Chains A and B, each alone.
Chain A
Amino acid sequence: MPETYSAMNLFLDFSVIGILILGIWLFRWPHRAKFGNLTAAFALTCAAALILYRSGTQYPYIVLLSLAVGSAAGYWVAKRITMIQIPAMVAFQHGAGGVAAFSLSLAELMRGTLHLGMINEISGLFGLAIGSLTFSGSMIAGGKLSGKLGQTPRILPKHTWLVMLNLACIIVLIIAALYAPAGSRIFLHIVIIFLSILFGILFSIRIGGADMPVLISFLNATAGLAAAFCGMIIENKLLISCGATVAASGSILTHVMCKAMNRSLFRVFVPVEKSPPKPAVDNEQNRVADPVEKETQHLPVEKNNFEKAVEIARKANKVIIVPGYGMAVAQAQFEVIDFSNEMLSMGKEVKFAIHPVAGRMPGHMNVLLAEAGVDYDMLEEMDIINPEFKETDFTLVIGACDVVNPAAIETDGSPISGMPILLTHESKHVVCCNLDDKPGYSGVENPLYKNSNTVMLLGDAKETVRKLVENLSESSSAPEESTGLDSLQDNKKSQADLAVTALSSAKKIIIIPGYGMALAQAQFKVAELASVLESMGTEVKFAIHPVAGRMPGHMNVLLAEAEVDYDKLCEMDVINPEFSQTDAVLVFGACDVVNPAAMDTQGTPISGMPILTAHDAKKVIVCNFDEKPGYSGVENTLYDNPKTIMLLGDAASTADDLLDALKA
């Protein structure tokens, strides 16, 4: 081929690269970007035409048919999806790119074992590995983003080690494949593909929630890199050049996302153990010294079991939760975590006791609770937790039977005699959320159920725990606010009135959208609100934090969909000085990106993260779903600010209420 590479051909190659670069260059201006996109598409079409002209094709039917199938599917999906599905769609497309890259590498390696040079062969093996991990990583990312998989990170036991081991195997196999006899190489190639697919899964499943933008940007970079390696096998400059450009773009986006979240790429992929504020240990000893309370804490018999359980939960200081297979069957792990969070927010100490054989596989419960976002410092092994039951006020058993059956130690000759159990019966109160009071798998009656300090809540565990959480949050918030439910609603109403007054008197308003707006699909309402405010003579701008949402520029796309003029969408650095001259800030579903704790406190996960300084404005109206912390888990001090008005609930309906009030 080099002989035929005339100056003309070289010139044509570089012209195509030039057109492509022009396309990317046009992305600097929003109104030219559309043309830039078409320019880039044109460049690639030219490149394909050039190759067909130069070398023709042996299989026109395969080419035409594949082109028709692939393009039709791509076009159909692109026209059909809604903007909220974009992140998932982009992820799935990265996956398709990964498949293309590793298939091409495989085909070239199969053909070329005779005439490929060392460099080409190494590139081919890298193309295989990177293409495969891009494929599987993107599928996981796409699954998470489209809601088909849980959004929370899944952490396997020894996850980091598994990842390292997997990576080491891939490297060893790549080296082996270089020196293996030609006949057996194909086998090694296929093993490399499978191991790389596994690797992609392993590193992406432990990333979730607000870290998704980093993952998706990273996969963007690897897709480009895979394409560049494909180019190196066949020594095609166009492929290398395009691949490298995409890799550069993905790297920049990854870097921007990491910087905006104040995390290093390494920390996103290998999360550090979260250490929550642990309750002081000596408190426990005080409680032990007061065993009389156990006797005096008699509950009125006439109350039904459910009310009893709520009361026990409210009075308890130290809580242990014992999950069993029943929790898995009822898929109640998320409710259980809600419950644990509720208890934690009430200042109680919560731990999970994990029996080695709870569930249907080793570590089953850990995986489920990890899925639900548990802090794994709270998961305790049997031997460690057993001495603590004596000092525990309240043990919540969820769908576990045999592993908490005292008959195992009290009786002889039963199938479970001598089996180590969790000593739940030693705690002051036990609440069992099991489906029924029948014996478990072993068939041995559970005397725990008959104990005087046990409260049975039979039925679907998911439902039971959910009701428990609801009752707890009501009974805990009511006394704090020292108001009944009615005045609570009055309070909410007056907050809305305050918000409307603030908005209608404001001259300058900044709107801050966050992922909550995307979830509530509130962008149209928000855009309408903005135009109503503008028609009242108010200056309205939007402040876009770089990591708001689930992918770079997510908020911009949503607001563009709602026909917001993009001149009004301001970047963080540009808008931040303007907050102090702003009369009112409207926050829609954003939390961490407006949390002043990032600037005020040290040592939290968000310390040092750049934020939108909404707290500088005269009034802040927060339209969030709840006032819980965002993904970082750091309480938002903005919510407690006296100039903040909280409008909790679905962002779309809040925006609707504001619209109605403003129009009236």
Chain B
Amino acid sequence: MTNLLLMAGVFLFSFVVGYFLISRIPTLLHTPLMSMTNAISAVTILGVLILFSVKSTATEQIIGAVAFIMAAFNLVGGFAITDRMLRLFKKKEKEALE
């Protein structure tokens, strides 16, 4: 039961903190934001690592590998494309600001 409460707490805390952080993000960056959060949702890759930390049956290994490939695709692809997008956002007076 305490576990459930702890998990629900972590979920709520992250949701609320995420909500406040993200609602302040300018609409200018909504596409990169979505692309980055998409990459973050590939956090399931950690779940697969935990799955593989103990002995698994052959079926589990196959399903796990599928999940791993997809999550890695999502993770690397998501961060790479966000990076590419964000590099496009340029500002002329860059030096002035820094």
Question: In the bound complex, how far is the Cα of B73 from the Cα of A58, in angstroms?
Answer: 22
List, in ascending order, chain A residues with CB within 8 A of B55's CB: 58
Contacts of B26 in A (CB 8 A): 28, 30, 571
Q: How far is the CB of A50 from chain B (nearest CB, A)?
A: 9
Q: Which residue of chain A has its CB nearest to the CB of B31?
A: A553
CB pair B85 A217 closer than 8 Å: no
- Alpha-carbon distance A152/B22, docked complex (angstroms): 31
Chain A window 239-262, contacts with chain B (Cβ cutoff 8 Å), 1 for yes, 0 for no: 111111111111111001000000
Contact of A243 among B6, B41, B73, B92 (CB under 8 A): B41
The reply on A520 being an interface residue by CB < 8 A is no
Chain A nearest CB, measured from B83 CB (Å)? 6
Q: Evaluate contact between B89 and A74: CB separation under 8 angstroms.
A: no
Given A24-B21, A74-B76: A55 and B53 interface contact (C-beta under 8 Å): yes
How many residue-residue contacts, CB under 8 A, span A and B? 378
From the candidates A47, A230, A546, A553, name the one contacting B33 in the complex (CB within 8 A): A553
Q: Which listed residue, A23, A62, A226, touches B65 by the CB 8 Å rule?
A: A62
- Answer whether residue A158 sits at the interface, using C-beta atoms and an 8 A cutoff: no
A72's closest neighbor in chain B, by CB? B76
Whether the pair A74, B68 counts as a contact (CB closer than 8 A) is no
Among the listed B12, B19, B38, B73, which residue makes an inter-chain contact with A73, where contact means beta carbons less than 8 Å apart? B73
Q: Is the CB of B71 within 8 A of A90?
A: no
B38 and A51 form a contact (CB under 8 A): no
Interface contacts beyond A63-B49, A216-B34, A560-B89: sample of 16 additional A-B pairs, CB < 8 Å, sorted by A: A27-B33, A31-B89, A33-B89, A67-B68, A75-B76, A93-B73, A96-B77, A97-B74, A103-B66, A104-B44, A110-B59, A244-B14, A252-B19, A553-B29, A556-B29, A563-B88
What is the interface of chain A, defined by CB distance below 8 A to chain B? 17, 20-21, 23-25, 27-28, 30-31, 33-34, 36-38, 40-41, 44, 47-48, 51-52, 55-59, 62-63, 65-67, 69-71, 73-75, 77-79, 81, 83, 86, 89-90, 93-94, 96-97, 99-101, 103-104, 106-108, 110-111, 117, 119, 216-217, 220, 223-224, 226-228, 230-253, 256, 544, 546, 551-554, 556-557, 560-561, 563-567, 569, 571
**Could you list which residues of chain B lie within 8 angstroms of chain A, going by C-beta atoms?**
3-4, 6-7, 10-19, 21-57, 59-61, 63-92, 94, 97
The 28 listed contacts between A and B (C-beta, < 8 Å) are A20-B40, A21-B17, A21-B21, A30-B26, A47-B43, A51-B53, A55-B49, A62-B65, A63-B52, A86-B31, A93-B78, A100-B48, A104-B44, A111-B57, A227-B42, A234-B50, A238-B43, A239-B47, A240-B7, A241-B11, A242-B40, A242-B43, A245-B17, A245-B18, A249-B22, A251-B19, A560-B88, A566-B89
